[in-house]
Every structure is written in structure tokens, then in C-alpha cells.
């Protein structure tokens, strides 16, 4: 009888711990979402809507402007090889981001929405994670990649998320801030780029610019 009571008590204690952990995790997620919404509101309040740089300014800021986007092949969170060449004939948004980047988590839902809105017109989006990867330690590398994959799943990212284990950001001029986003037209040329969180209107305008350049959809 005593043993049964102890077993029941242990089961109840375990259930209590699981419930507490679930509630604690839910509350943490709610706090994170609330913080992101506050940050987004602050940014939208201070950023002039629709602000875009003219072509001369963009050329000075981005040496890739008007040039062919550097090719790359990386592995996505599902273990598949993904190359920029796979999207020949499409307009492509290449977004450098990281799991710890708060502005990135504001931009990502916009990119998800634009992927849904303009995907039928030939838009593709690729997210390249700039999280640190320990390439010399297979065990740590697996954990780091899993963390990125878990975050991508939590954010419900609807486009490929790639691990930058080949330092792809270097041929793109390096990443001075996150997110850093490149807009590539159907011919493979960079037509716009942004560093940091740009206004939603500017991102959409740059997407339309990429979709409108470089010939017809494939």
C-alpha cells in the first residue's frame, strides 16, 4: 500500500513539474512576442514609411548593385542542398539573419507574407542563418544546427533556411548588421539591398523591383 502511495505521489509530482514547465514556457513565449510587438511599434513610429534610397546612393552603399549575385550552395534545415542557381528565372530575396536577432524576427513574418503573396508571380525567399557554427566540433555543430532548425519551426518560416557553413556572407560584402537582405531579379542581378530592419513598404517595393526586372517568369 505504501509503495502504491509513493508511486502515485511520484507520478503526481512529475505531472506537476511538467505542467509547471509548460506554463512557464508558454509565458516566456508570450513575453517574447509582446516584446517583439513593442519593438516593432517603436521602429514603425520612428521610421519614415516608404523611405527608399535612390540608385546612386544604393550603388555607393552596395558594390553588388547591378551585378550578378554570387552563387552559393548550402544545406537547409531538412538536410537538402540548396543552390541559388536552383531559382534561375525567379526573383529571389536572400535574407541573412540569426536566431538571436530581434529585428530579424520582426522582418521574417513580412517575408513569409510576401512569399505567399508574390510566390505565384515567381518570388522565392532564402533565409541564410548567420548564427555561429563550431565547424571543428561535430557534436556542438549538430546542436547548433538543431537550435536554428527549432527556431525556424517556431517562427513558422515558410521558405528554406540555410546554414552558412561556407561563409557565404563574404562574397556578398560581409554582414555589417542583421538582417541584411538582397533582392535579386530574374536574370540573377542584385537590384536592391538593405542593412538592418527596413520599413515593410520598402521591402515590398524592392520585391516588386526584382519581380519586374530580368525578363519573364519561368
Which among 104, 149, 178, 211 is annotated as catalytic?
104
Report the distance separating Cα 87 and Cα 89, nearest Å.
Answer: 6
Annotated active-site residue in 69, 84, 101, 149: 101
With 0-12 / 13-18 / 19 or more C-beta atoms within 10 angstroms meaning exposed / middle / buried, residue 16 is: exposed
State the Cα–Cα distance between residues 82 and 151, nearest whole angstrom. Answer: 19
Contacts 24+ apart (CB under 8 A), 144-148: 145/77, 147/99, 148/77, 148/99
Which residues are within 8 A (CB) of 85 and not within 5 positions of it... i.e. 6 or more apart? 71
Our answer to whether residue 179 is catalytic in this structure is no
Q: Is 164 a catalytic residue?
A: no
Catalytic residues: 101, 104
Amino acid at each position: 500500500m505504501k509503495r502504491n502511495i509513493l508511486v502515485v505521489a511520484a507520478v503526481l509530482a512529475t505531472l506537476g513539474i511538467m505542467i509547471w514547465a509548460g506554463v512557464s514556457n508558454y509565458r516566456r513565449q508570450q513575453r517574447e512576442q509582446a516584446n517583439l510587438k513593442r519593438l516593432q511599434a517603436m521602429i514603425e513610429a520612428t521610421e519614415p514609411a516608404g523611405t527608399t534610397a535612390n540608385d546612386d546612393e544604393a550603388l555607393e552603399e552596395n558594390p553588388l548593385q547591378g551585378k550578378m549575385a554570387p552563387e552559393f550552395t548550402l544545406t537547409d534545415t531538412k538536410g537538402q542542398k540548396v543552390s541559388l542557381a536552383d531559382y534561375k528565372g525567379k526573383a529571389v530575396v536572400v535574407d541573412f539573419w540569426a536566431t538571436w536577432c530581434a529585428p530579424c524576427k520582426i522582418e521574417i513574418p513580412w517575408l513569409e507574407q510576401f512569399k505567399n503573396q508574390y510566390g505565384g508571380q515567381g518570388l522565392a525567399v532564402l533565409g541564410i542563418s548567420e548564427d555561429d557554427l563550431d565547424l571543428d566540433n561535430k557534436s556542438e555543430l549538430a546542436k547548433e544546427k538543431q537550435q536554428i532548425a527549432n527556431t525556424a519551426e517556431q517562427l513558422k518560416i515558410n521558405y528554406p533556411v540555410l546554414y552558412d557553413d561556407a561563409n557565404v556572407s563574404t562574397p556578398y560584402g560581409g554582414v555589417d548588421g542583421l538582417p541584411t537582405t538582397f533582392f535579386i531579379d530574374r536574370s540573377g542581378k542584385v537590384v536592391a539591398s538593405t542593412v538592418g530592419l527596413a520599413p515593410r513598404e520598402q521591402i515590398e517595393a524592392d520585391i516588386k523591383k526584382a519581380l519586374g526586372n530580368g525578363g519573364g517568369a519561368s
